Amino acid sequence: MPFTINSEICARCGSCIGNCPNRAIMRREEKVIITDMCCDCGICMRFCPVGAIGMGPVKAELDAKKLSASLKEKFGITREIAAMKFVDKKPADIPVEEGPQFWCSICGDIFDGQGAPLLFSSAASMCGGCINMGLGCKLVPREDFGAALEASVVGEGNLYAALEPMTKNRDVFPRFPHIYDAMILGALATITKPGIVLFPATPEQLTKVSTAFAFETGEVITGFAGKSTCLMTIPATLVNNRPVFTAADHGGRMFKRLKPEELLICFPFSLIPGLVKNFDKTTYAQHGE
């Protein structure tokens, strides 16, 4: 693993455990150890009062192209993996999506193999989902906004009976502490150190992913249903650094072109190196499944 703890110096206070964003540090019997979920961020070193933490013999594998290939090989993922990198300054070398376009539709293109990176912002968004992605909102005339709600969101034959159920339970999901200028959206293999990754998976593949994630963390992957796909995937993953899965909503499934047997898995990129590494220690790898 990238960082190690000198057990002779360690005071076993637990400060590093509580401050590791990847939950890669834990107590094992009388020792505090750093597991393979470590992503080489170094935050733990800043919280160790006795200087017991230092660099380990290897660095975490953060090469997006290699990780993309490993995810497909180990977990049997057959479609392309999407990645999102949130930025405050738009890079000049990434083509801008002018829109209007659905974020879901761009993800669908990526899943189908059209993964060249694009710069996506609220200005290009076809719907109000950009609010749920940390990109703020797109300003439109009030009349147009109301017409869009009545056409496809609120009312009989749409998603919600009225505005009240549409906005209910928003507090289930974390609020963004920061509004980004744009996101770089493309295939994982094409984006350096993205914030999150998103990919279609069958229930069997989800089981493999959750087993590898829980192997050292002991944590569950939360699932959501009943809200918009962007709200059920991005906030918890980006803000809380936690993986989630979802069945998506009507529009999300349609524009992402999900197959009937597919769910969506959304993972913080920082957890992917450990996920890939830990799979080889699980029952699936040991029994060649």
Domains of the chain in start order, with CATH, are 3-55 (3.30.70.20), 64-284 (no CATH)
Contacts of 69 (CB under 8 A, 6+ apart): 189
In this predicted structure, what is the pLDDT of residue 152?
Answer: 80
Q: What is the chain's pLDDT, residue by residue, as a tens digit (289 residues)?
A: 578 999 999 999 999 999 999 999 999 888 999 999 999 999 999 999 999 999 888 889 999 999 999 999 999 999 999 999 999 988 989 999 998 899 999 999 999 999 899 999 999 998 888 889 999 988 888 888 788 878 888 888 888 888 888 888 888 999 999 999 999 999 999 999 999 999 999 999 999 999 999 999 999 999 999 999 999 999 999 999 999 999 999 999 999 999 999 999 999 999 999 999 999 999 998 777 6
Q: Taking a C-beta distance cutoff of 8 angstroms, is the pair 53, 16 a contact?
A: yes
In this predicted structure, what is the pLDDT of residue 30?
Answer: 86
Please give the Cα distance from 186 to 196 (Å, whole number).
11
In this predicted structure, what is the pLDDT of residue 165?
Answer: 84
In this predicted structure, what is the pLDDT of residue 1?
Answer: 58
In 3D, which of 283, 175, 156, 173 has the Cα closest to residue 226?
173
